[in-house]
Amino acid sequence: MSTTYALELKDVRKNFGKTEIIRGVNLAVEPGERVAVIGPNGAGKSTLFNLIRARFGPTSGDILLNGQRIQHKTPYEINRMGLARSFQITNIFPKLSVFENLRCAVLWSLGYKYTFFKFLSGLKDANERADQLLEMIRLDKKRDVLAVNLTYAEQRALEIGVTIAGGADVILLDEPTAGMSKSETSRFIHLIKEVTVGKTLLTVEHDMGVVFGLADKIAVVVYGEVIAFDTPEAVRANAKVQEAYLGSSVADSQAGGH
């Protein structure tokens, strides 16, 4: 192998009982690429995501982060290796202030580990980094507000802030704009682009506006397989993708039709 991919999936399979959900996925993401994973409902996008972030291990195949295998590792080990993720359902520390949320998230990467012989107020680098993050996600005015008291959009921003805080170079975003209004969404995409400059980004998203606004490349997952992995224009023109989407949207409308 000549180049090391930021994230590489090699013939990854996952069975739940006898049902094969992921049927041999191959995906190689170059460092610095922004990749969006799309696909019809039930195609296995979420399962794929859960595999990468080690919620459960794959049945077979390899998942490599910067060339190192990460399957069967605990979430915190993967995080320390440089992969961070956000959650679809806002997942922050509700009873801590916005600033404390961010400061907690930078501690490990700055090497403070489990120390209890230092005062937080004396950790200059951690405090500066947290304040810097506050500005990046535009929550500097809410510094001392408890996370639980933020608006939904602000909580989503904090979610991103906590995700990028540790300085991981591969970022997984699980439906980052879920539940946001149109105007909030476009502002939010801008924010995500801004804070993830130079990082590898992998996102699952339903909103096609978000997908085409954010991604350099799009991976289309249908029935547990990647049927296309290319630039947005090429994917849009891809006949297999059109068929899959058209087919499934007809099926969806039949299933959901009243």
Partner 1 sequence: MAAVYKFKPYNVGRWVIWSLFALVLLLAPLVFTSNLSTTMLAQMGIAIIACLSYNILLGQGGMLSFGHAVYTGLGSYLAIHALNAVSAGKWHIPVSLLPIVGGIAGMCFAVLLGWVTTRKSGTPFAMITLGVAELVFAMSLMFSEFFGGEAGVSGNRVAGEAFFGITFGPQIQVYYLIAAYTFVCVALMYAFTQTPLGRILNAVRDNPERVEFIGYNTQRVRYIAFIIAGFFAGIAGGLGALNFEIVTAEVVGAGRSGAYLLFTFLGGATFFFGPIIGAILMVIAFVLLSELTKAWLLYLGLIFLFMVMYAPGGIASLIMMNLRVAKFGKLRQIWTSYLGLGLTAFVMLAGAGAMIEMVYHLQLNSALGDTVKFMGATLNAKGLDSWFGCAFVMFTGLGLFELCRRQYMIEWGDIQTEIEKEIKRRETAV
Contacting residue, 71, 79, 200, 203, with partner 1 by CB under 8 A: 79
Within residues 25-54, the interface with partner 1 by CB under 8 A covers 53
Distance, in Å, from the CA atom of 79 to the CA atom of 218, rounded to the nearest integer, reads 24
CB neighbour class for 144 (10 Å; exposed up to 12, middle 13-18, buried from 19)? exposed
Contacting residue, 23, 66, 87, 216, with partner 1 by CB under 8 A: 87
Of 86-94, 128-136, 191-199, 237-245, the segment contacting partner 1 by CB under 8 A is 86-94
Q: Does 121 bind partner 1 (CB under 8 A)?
A: yes
In the shown chain, the binding pattern of residues 123 to 162 toward partner 1, with x for contact by CB under 8 A and - for none, equals: x--x--------------x----x---------------x
Contacts for 44 with CB less than 8 Å, ≥ 6 apart: 21, 22, 221, 223, 224
Comparing CB distances to partner 1, the nearer of 146 and 153 is 146
Query: Can you say how many angstroms the Cα of residue 47 is from the centroid of all Cα atoms in its chain?
Result: 13
Query: Can you say how many angstroms the Cα of residue 45 is from the centroid of all Cα atoms in its chain?
Result: 12
Q: Are strands 170-174 and 19-29 parallel, antiparallel or unpaired?
A: unpaired
Residues of this chain that interact with partner 1 (CB under 8 A) are: 53, 74-76, 79-80, 84-85, 87, 91-96, 100, 103-105, 107-109, 112-121, 123, 126, 141, 146, 162-163, 165-166
